[in-house]
Amino acid sequence: MVKSIYHSELIMGLNNRLFINALAGVTEEQAKERLSDHNNPLVWIAAHTLSSRYFILVFLGKPATNPFRELFDNFRAYDPSLKYPTLEEIRKEWQNVTALLHEALKSVTEKQLSEKAMIQSPVADEANEGLLAFLAQHESYEIGQMAFLKKYFTREAMSYS
């Protein structure tokens, strides 16, 4: 464990479970439903969150093939004409990327984390560790949206356990 990213790792560890819990009880049809024309459906949010984890692997020096990359190339917004993965495909791929991320976080060095990040994030730290902190926050934000939609569709709150 690298001390400088300990808290980001804690948040991502919690998010491993919350992501799956936010999908519990949601049907495929519900996951595709948009609350309005200017909101994203749960399936898009979940696949986008998963894709963000693949991006983390890139700047940690452990790139892996993201099976949903083309859906989000160049920060592509939701497009109802595209075919998005099923919830089961998303759950399965989440487990895969989570295992890869766990290994990447175990092997990353302080030197890698202190290098200038490949993209700028809204946080004041321009290094990879700042980008990681932002992406942990971004992931939490997205999971919060997923939890809201789960509650809307299933009438059940997302579990923290």
Domain boundaries, the chain: 3-154
Q: Amino acid identity, residue 75? A: F
Taking CA atoms, 13 is separated from 16, 18, 22, in Å, by 5, 9, 15
d(CA 153, CA 139): 21
Q: Give the per-residue pLDDT at 4.
A: 82
Q: Which fold has domain 3-154?
A: Four Helix Bundle (Hemerythrin (Met), subunit A) (1.20.120)
Regarding pTM above 0.95, the answer is: no
- Summarised one tens digit per residue, pLDDT across range 62-118 is 999 999 999 998 888 899 899 999 999 999 999 999 999 999 999 999 999 999 999
Nearest to 138 by CA among 126, 124, 122, 120: 122
Query: Cβ(121)–Cβ(130) under 8 Å?
Result: yes
d(CA 153, CA 130): 35
